[in-house]
Amino acid sequence: MFEQFEKRIDLLRDGDACLLLQDGLIGLEKESLRVEHQGSISQKPHPTGLGSALTNPYVTTDYSEALLEFTTPPNRDVATTLSFLRESHQFVYQNLEDELLWATSMPCVVKGEAGIPIACYGDSNQGMMKTIYRRGLGYRYGRVMQVIAGVHFNYSIPEAFWPIYQELLGDSAPLQDFINRQYMAMVRNLQRFGWLVPYLFGASPAVCKSFLCGRGSSTLQPFDETTYFEPFATSLRMGDIGYQNTREEGVGIKANYDSLESYIASLRCAIETPSEEWAEIGVVVNGEWRQLNANLLQIENEYYSTVRPKQPPAGMEKPVVALGKRGIRYVELRSLDVNAYDPLGVSEPQLRFVEAFMIFSMLCESPLIGQRERRFIDRNLITTAHRGRDPALTLQCGEGDMKLRDWAGMILDAMEPVCDFLDVGNPDGVHTATLAIQKIKVDDPEKTPSARMLAEMRREGEGFYTFARRMSQLHKRYFDSQPLCPERMAFHAEAAKRSLDDQREMEAGEKRSFPEFLQRYFGEKA
């Protein structure tokens, strides 16, 4: 299964190229719901002390006004990235009044759609576009699904690595074309092997009954009077009760990952193709914008995927235009649950593993994904989300059915040389150590976060809400006991103040009407 990978490892081992892999850039986006002390989603506006949700680069909001999103700059070291994330949490807690940051991916005490306030970004055209886009998501998929929190891992291979690696492979294409092909190979394999992430790190095996808003469930079982669960679930967030827009009937789409060009073309088609179902919602109804348009996707970001190739847009540049002009800069892995056992929602061992996993996925052979394998990939992810810890579980791959634990063991064994590369010069061997931890989880599913959560809930006699609230309070005490130092407090306070000034400038300088703004935005071509 990994013959090409082994050959590439030998090529890298013979030179110094393997050492360059230590300089990859790592960034995080981590979501957390602001909740009242009893766990209800906050109805308060985004705190002014945190700056503008539109223009603050470090603390913003996602779907809901209550769903904070922490963003770190890219760094060469996981520890540095986590240090910045910790600062952001300390800064936020010093600006919250009587609220908690919810410690899990799945929300609790959901009081229906009306209890989820949509994020507000002000009166500029850009701000209005962000709010209306979210309003459209609510009409299309419901608001409840949009407040599930997660962690996104952004990773880029070191620039100095690419020309050396290209020469080792004997490839004579323009360098950016070569880079695009390698990143798309990584993206395909992150989907192929992506079920491994919810197995190892899934932390949502149970949900509050309030999350289903009284609908009940044909697959979930009662844990107690407040909680549904599945006995072998790993990440219900990644299962079929989470946010989906990839169904084939009616309004579903599938992106094409054969190449960057085909990926761009498939997304461009989706954002330009009208949908009869979404047209029934209406775009502007009684003077209110309900959605940006009635196409299959309002914008590219609406397409749900566990992994995305990315190029930072310049200003209001569309993502597909940015990718078409400048190629892939980094890859975003979106399948990490919020880790309830860490105050930051993610731990250093997790990130060390994911870094090695993404490099492994780039170096591995990565054939194109046909329709049959596409079905396998989707099914494997859903099955692992709902039944990943079942010792008898088999997944579907090109070589036939294989037990999850056998396939996982093969991948983890194959990753060893990548961890060796990343640990050269590091006496602690952190990547090799975290790989060993993951192997233990494969041998013993009870060591996974999802199993730990269910075991603790049973031991403590508590449902998911009580567990999540207790962990949220523990994390608050952790941050309260570690106030941000004055120098870093000043840094984040200045970023917040500057963002408010930037938003006011943006709103004061607006010259076009909103319809004109949208027409110009959607009319942009690569």
117 CB-near residues (< 8 Å, 6+ apart) = 41, 43, 64, 65, 66
Residue 139 in 3-state DSSP?
helix
Q: Are residues 418 and 428 in the same domain?
A: yes
Q: Are residues 60 and 178 in the same domain?
A: yes
Is the Cβ–Cβ distance between 5 and 320 less than 8 Å? no
What is the number of domains present in the chain?
2
Is the Cβ–Cβ distance between 327 and 180 less than 8 Å? yes
Q: Are residues 356 and 382 in the same domain?
A: yes
In a domain, 94, yes or no: yes
Residue 130 in 3-state DSSP?
helix
User: φ and ψ at 274, to 5 degrees?
Assistant: -65, 150
- Rounded distance between C-alpha atoms, residue 386 and residue 369, angstroms: 24
In a domain, 483, yes or no: yes
Q: Are residues 55 and 202 in the same domain?
A: yes
Q: Are residues 400 and 478 in the same domain?
A: yes
- Rounded distance between C-alpha atoms, residue 192 and residue 377, angstroms: 6
CA 491 to chain centre: 26
Q: What is the CATH number of the domain that holds 194?
A: 3.30.590.20
Q: Tell me the CA end-to-end span of the chain in Å, nearest whole number.
A: 38
In a domain, 526, yes or no: no
Q: Are residues 35 and 125 in the same domain?
A: yes
Q: Are residues 356 and 271 in the same domain?
A: no
Q: Are residues 451 and 426 in the same domain?
A: yes
**Neighbouring C-beta atoms of residue 515, cutoff 10 Å:** 11
Q: Are residues 456 and 369 in the same domain?
A: yes
Residue 509 in 3-state DSSP?
coil
In a domain, 466, yes or no: yes
Q: Burial code of 40-58, b = ≥16 C-beta within 10 A, e = fewer? A: bbbeeebbebbbbbbbbeb
In a domain, 43, yes or no: yes
Q: Are residues 168 and 292 in the same domain?
A: no
Q: What is the pTM of this model?
A: 0.96
Q: pLDDT (tens digit, 0 to 9) for every residue of the chain, 526 residues total?
A: 788 999 999 999 887 789 999 999 999 999 999 999 899 999 999 999 999 999 999 999 999 999 999 999 999 999 999 999 999 999 999 999 899 999 999 999 898 899 999 999 999 999 999 999 999 999 999 999 999 999 999 999 999 999 999 999 999 999 999 999 999 999 999 999 999 999 999 999 999 999 987 776 668 999 999 999 999 999 999 998 865 555 444 456 789 999 999 999 999 999 999 999 999 999 999 999 999 999 999 999 999 999 999 999 998 999 999 999 999 999 999 999 999 999 999 999 999 999 999 999 999 999 999 999 999 999 999 999 999 999 999 999 877 899 999 999 999 999 999 999 999 988 889 999 999 999 999 999 999 999 999 999 999 999 999 999 999 999 999 999 999 999 999 999 999 999 999 999 999 999 999 999 999 999 887 6
Q: Are residues 346 and 422 in the same domain?
A: yes
In a domain, 504, yes or no: yes
Place of tokens 């190739």: 309
Is the Cβ–Cβ distance between 28 and 43 less than 8 Å? no
In a domain, 421, yes or no: yes
Domain with 159 in it? 3-245+297-301+333-511
DSSP annotation of 51 = -
In a domain, 518, yes or no: no
- Rounded distance between C-alpha atoms, residue 27 and residue 83, angstroms: 11
Q: Are residues 111 and 241 in the same domain?
A: yes
